[in-house]
Chain A
């Protein structure tokens, strides 16, 4: 700890010296937790903040606005054919790469074909089966093998690289040139210490609001926030934990920004094992958990209470007519369990299966995450009055993952009764319900509870291949209703994203719903 602090101090001191020497203002220092290597599409390390930093240097054809809906960006207009398979884009005129070369449709074709040719874990999959045609320098025609209502998210996700530079790269996976069209150019990398980004004054969407960004790498969370309090950094990509909010809010020089986050926290039931294979049992358990109290206690209120249909209320795909969980009084819940044949026959306070086995189950949670351990404890307390015992077992994250999602392959089955789990933001952004709920494990790649509902499968397939956003929304409403009824797992809450910044250095941060303040639109005119 002390070593980290020392490193952070030396680092920041160095930056200060650098800052005063070049006298470039305004400048902000934004701490990041790990290195992102050369910050090219093939070398950046992390989904967050790495991809968001990458997109300060590069642009995509579209950009998601603050509500999470894609709109044209490098493209001026985006037209979709009525069957949803042909996407015609007109590019903005007069856009130049950082080196002064003009940006054309050839760069788009080259980039998309590059991701198709050289596998990339994030960009390649969504572009499978897409052909690119370029009738002229400002027009791109994309033909999809099947309609996709969320292809616009792909267009907003995929960075475009300059053809004239990347065609000379012998191995794109290690190529380190960072010329892009983005609002910032990467001017300096000191490995394991900091990155320096300078504003692109000729940016097509207007001059970026901050002249220079320094990204010092501070690995330790405590050291990061100590540096922020000491004024050695102005912001951090790391989110603040709820227990620190009051202290940071009390300071006049620090501003706390918070908003909805798209990471979910779930209680998984193994749908293949009794008694959780029975939706009635799942509904009873769902009914005795107090979700508001959970959020208030474990996250001090800094979370949105889960929707039984999984989709976050702030997501454009949320079914607003869906209520919360159906609460049950203890007597009701106990009576329902009696009727299902789970009775406490030996009087020990724990119910038994008809064959005499007690209703006692392991609730897995990972050891590094105190919020989840506490959540598990509170859930175990909530079901105890029902005569059901949840034994909280905290194991290291890999062990939990291996038992819930062996080798990240839903086809390999599962070995648990109950687990506290969570999905990262992209599952919510794309509303990947097909992956979550489809009974065929090759399609339902993240259906880790082993849920199967044939009616739902049909809807899931249809929403994935429908041509329009509106039609998909309608199908998603229906899907959420069925999920809320069946409850293959319980969506407990979505923790808020909380950031602390020094407004004196920069105060133009924009909160992107579900994803936070570290993104392009925090720095360019919107």
Chain B
């Protein structure tokens, strides 16, 4: 059962990844190729948007943006999380306390409002969106990694290695990193799917970069130009919406499978 789910998840992500890399779009999504507001036709499978760009091509290119944001934001968040987690878990004492209080602060901050304020303040660019997401999602990985480091540090053979003079870098290389990599991967997957959702939400609210093609901006224009009042929602809202759902589902399935294998609590219970 578990393996079936993970295979489905990996397939979804593989297909989306393929689309993102090869972008099999018939048109340049920035090019005005037809009259605006056209319904689907053999030339334009999902019709055209409000200035005559091909919606299918927009959605295909949007996959690249959305996955890129998801991956980069997750990578950054997990990187910060790992560094903070390792420092806190290894050092202990007041450094640990300091790090964990910082984590607490980030965890209890009301997430979406702060995100909106930051996005509005920093201005709309893809890089800013990535940085904002990373800055607000590193706390959970940090906390999980720290517990794992604490566990590893107290293992007898690690203590022995320490006792015979193993340096921090030695312990890190041979004992800590191998123990936290699976956890970091799980966290990566979780943060990535969250990041895709956040990017879409910000873009939908008009706080992303409206010139950048992403699933969220496609939805923003659909909503702003009356797609919900006409029949256009069927080809203008549903496809990007379905892809957002699908990508989150893909990440969730993979993350679920990974977690089953790597989370120490789920393993031993």
Task: Give the Cβ gap from A522 to chain B, nearest Cβ, in Å.
Answer: 25
Chain B residue contacts of A395, Cβ below 8 A: 120, 123-124
Task: Give the Cβ gap from B86 to chain A, nearest Cβ, in Å.
Answer: 39
Per the 8 Å Cβ criterion, residues 373-400 of A in contact with B are 373-374, 377-378, 392-396, 399
From the candidates A225, A368, A377, name the one contacting B211 in the complex (CB within 8 A).
Answer: A377
Interface size bracket, A side: 20 to 34
From the candidates B51, B124, B225, name the one contacting A367 in the complex (CB within 8 A).
Answer: B124
Per the 8 Å Cβ criterion, residues 209-227 of B in contact with A are 209-211, 220-221, 224-226
A247 touches B51 (CB 8 A): no
Chain A residue contacts of B229, Cβ below 8 A: 222, 225-226, 244, 247
Chain B residue contacts of A393, Cβ below 8 A: 123-124
- Bound together, the chains give a CA A247 to CA B233 distance in angstroms of 14
B225 touches A394 (CB 8 A): no
A257 in contact (CB, < 8 A):
no
Chain B residue contacts of A399, Cβ below 8 A: 120
B36 touches A394 (CB 8 A): no
How many residues of B are in contact with the other chain, CB < 8 A?
22
A102 in contact (CB, < 8 A):
no
- Bound together, the chains give a CA A298 to CA B50 distance in angstroms of 7
Chain A residue contacts of B40, Cβ below 8 A: none
- Bound together, the chains give a CA A225 to CA B229 distance in angstroms of 8
Q: Using known A-B contacts A297-B51, A298-B51, determine if residue A222 contacts B206 with beta carbons closer than 8 Å.
A: no
Residue pairs across A and B with CB atoms within 8 Å: the count is 60
- Bound together, the chains give a CA A396 to CA B207 distance in angstroms of 8
Main secondary structure of the interface of B (DSSP, over half): loop
Task: Give the Cβ gap from B200 to chain A, nearest Cβ, in Å.
Answer: 16
B50 touches A374 (CB 8 A): yes
B210 touches A373 (CB 8 A): yes
- Bound together, the chains give a CA A87 to CA B210 distance in angstroms of 53
Chain A residue contacts of B32, Cβ below 8 A: 297
B225 touches A241 (CB 8 A): yes
B256 in contact (CB, < 8 A):
no
B228 touches A222 (CB 8 A): yes
B52 in contact (CB, < 8 A):
yes
- Bound together, the chains give a CA A393 to CA B211 distance in angstroms of 8
- Bound together, the chains give a CA A368 to CA B36 distance in angstroms of 20
B211 touches A392 (CB 8 A): yes
Render A273-301 as a binary contact track against B, CB cut-off 8 A, 1 for contact.
00000000000000000000000011010
- Bound together, the chains give a CA A297 to CA B123 distance in angstroms of 27
Which 8 pairs across A and B sit closest by C-beta, in order of nearness? A370-B224, A367-B206, A394-B210, A243-B226, A244-B226, A373-B210, A374-B51, A392-B211
Known: A222-B228, A247-B230. 17 other contacts (CB 8 A): A1-B228, A241-B225, A243-B37, A243-B50, A244-B229, A297-B36, A298-B50, A300-B36, A300-B37, A367-B124, A367-B207, A368-B206, A370-B224, A393-B123, A393-B124, A394-B211, A399-B120
